């Protein structure tokens, strides 16, 4: 198990380096580097000043050399650059308060999706072709198909404007006397549900399909013929094997939650990484956008690494094959 764990760490580091180069190269090839943006904002900048600034910033060098210098600044010097949108604020100072906000939103959506989707998927599989099964399939397809921005706007229209049950935007009340856990939860309800709907629909479908495949296998029939109780057969034998392919879907859904958070946080004005990424792209904020994309890449790699470890725990054949 330790050898398998270490090999996955090495693979993850290698892929992270390749991904970081791909992200940096993509950002470098985009029109509108920091010097060009400076020229746009101040057309009186002289050509010699442009050349001098490009030389200082290293923008006159090939992309691989610029990448190595950038990597050194990030890893060794821990310098992520500065934001032009927020008047020269350090990128890390800008994002350090946004990351916990996004993680709080995504963790709540992840837990709710998991708690709701897995039991419904299992129960639907054990009641195939029943009314509950048909209703589950219909609800799952609707959840997958609904655009998250439209769902967020409908939640605001119905629950915030019409019924006035929850706030329409923001993270906390303007009144300091109302700040607290209850106030924070009120502001989280609509964005968390909006972020969870598509994941619930997707996970229900995968869980139902995987469970149906397992309950129709020979080893399940053998266990049933030996007189084992139905709950024991389903939850001790079938469910454990059915979770193996579902683990991948759940694990790689973390970056999908980040992508969904970009829209959800923008709709609900939630000050997280998703809204920051949107604002940085719209304002051509080079360094902030670069860090935001890298945050998404790291989260994707962590999700895959987490899935590999769960695979090895659930199915010993995988860790033995990986030696």
Within this chain, do residues 185 and 310 fall inside the same structural domain, yes or no?
yes
CATH of the domain at 312: 1.10.3720.10
Tens of pLDDT, residue by residue over 98-109, are: 888 888 888 899
Res 43: pLDDT: 66
Cβ-in-10-Å burial (0-12, 13-18, 19+) of 43 comes to: exposed
Res 287: pLDDT: 81
Within this chain, do residues 56 and 186 fall inside the same structural domain, yes or no?
no
Cβ atoms of 50 and 39 within 8 Å: the answer is: yes
- Which of 83, 117, 135 finishes a domain? 83
Within this chain, do residues 219 and 266 fall inside the same structural domain, yes or no?
yes
Q: Confirm whether 123 is domain-assigned.
A: yes
Within this chain, do residues 79 and 107 fall inside the same structural domain, yes or no?
no
Within this chain, do residues 59 and 122 fall inside the same structural domain, yes or no?
no
Domain count, the chain: 2
For 14, the domain range is: 2-83
Within this chain, do residues 243 and 289 fall inside the same structural domain, yes or no?
yes
Within this chain, do residues 305 and 229 fall inside the same structural domain, yes or no?
yes
Residues (pLDDT < 70) of the chain are 1, 30-43, 45, 57, 59, 176-177, 252, 254-256, 258-259, 311-312, 314-323
Within this chain, do residues 74 and 141 fall inside the same structural domain, yes or no?
no
Within this chain, do residues 185 and 105 fall inside the same structural domain, yes or no?
yes
User: Can you tell me the distance from the alpha carbon of 200 to that of 121, in angstroms, rounded to the nearest whole number?
Assistant: 10
Q: Confirm whether 213 is domain-assigned.
A: yes
Cβ atoms of 217 and 190 within 8 Å: the answer is: no
In the numeric block, the tokens 């607290």 are attached to 180
Tens of pLDDT, residue by residue over 17-42, are: 888 888 888 877 766 666 666 666 66
Within this chain, do residues 151 and 230 fall inside the same structural domain, yes or no?
yes
Within this chain, do residues 76 and 132 fall inside the same structural domain, yes or no?
no
Question: Read out DSSP for 30-50?
Answer: SS--HHHHHHHH-TT--HHHH
Q: Confirm whether 72 is domain-assigned.
A: yes
- Which of 83, 107, 130 finishes a domain? 83
Q: Confirm whether 203 is domain-assigned.
A: yes
Within this chain, do residues 10 and 134 fall inside the same structural domain, yes or no?
no
Query: 125-134: which pairs have CB atoms within 8 A and are 24 or more residues apart?
Result: 125/207, 125/208, 125/209, 125/211, 125/212, 125/215, 126/211, 126/215, 126/234, 128/212, 133/208
Packing angle of the helix pair 131-145, 98-126 (nearest 10 deg): 150
């Amino acid at each position: 198990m330790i050898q398998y764990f270490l090999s996955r760490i090495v693979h993850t580091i290698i892929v992270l380096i390749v991904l970081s180069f791909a992200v940096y190269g993509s950002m470098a090839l985009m029109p509108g580097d920091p010097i060009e943006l400076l020229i746009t904002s101040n057309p009186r900048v002289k050509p010699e000043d442009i050349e001098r600034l490009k030389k200082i910033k290293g923008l006159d060098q090939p992309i691989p050399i610029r990448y190595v210098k950038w990597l050194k600044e990030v890893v060794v010097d821990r310098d992520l650059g500065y934001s032009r949108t927020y008047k020269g604020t350090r990128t890390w100072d800008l994002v350090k308060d946004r990351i916990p906000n996004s993680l709080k939103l995504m963790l709540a959506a992840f837990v709710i999706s998991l708690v709701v989707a897995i039991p419904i998927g299992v129960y639907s599989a054990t009641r195939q072709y029943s009314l509950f099964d048909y209703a589950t399939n219909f609800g799952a397809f609707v959840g997958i198909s609904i655009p998250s921005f439209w769902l967020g706007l409908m939640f605001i229209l119905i629950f915030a404007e019409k019924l006035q049950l929850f706030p329409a935007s923001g993270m906390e009340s303007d009144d300091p006397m109302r700040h607290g856990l209850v106030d924070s939860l009120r502001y989280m309800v609509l964005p968390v549900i909006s972020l969870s709907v598509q994941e619930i629909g997707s996970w229900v479908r995968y869980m139902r399909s995987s469970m149906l495949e397992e309950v129709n296998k020979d080893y399940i029939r053998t266990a049933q013929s030996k007189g084992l109780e139905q709950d024991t057969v389903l939850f001790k034998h079938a469910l454990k094997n059915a979770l193996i392919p579902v683990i991948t879907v759940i694990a790689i859904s973390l970056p999908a939650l980040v992508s969904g958070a970009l829209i959800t946080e923008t709709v609900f004005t939630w000050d997280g990484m998703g809204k920051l990424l949107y604002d940085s792209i719209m304002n051509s904020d080079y360094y902030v956008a670069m860090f935001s994309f890298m945050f998404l890449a790291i989260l994707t790699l962590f999700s895959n690494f987490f899935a590999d470890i769960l695979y090895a725990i659930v199915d010993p054949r995988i860790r033995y094959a990986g030696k």
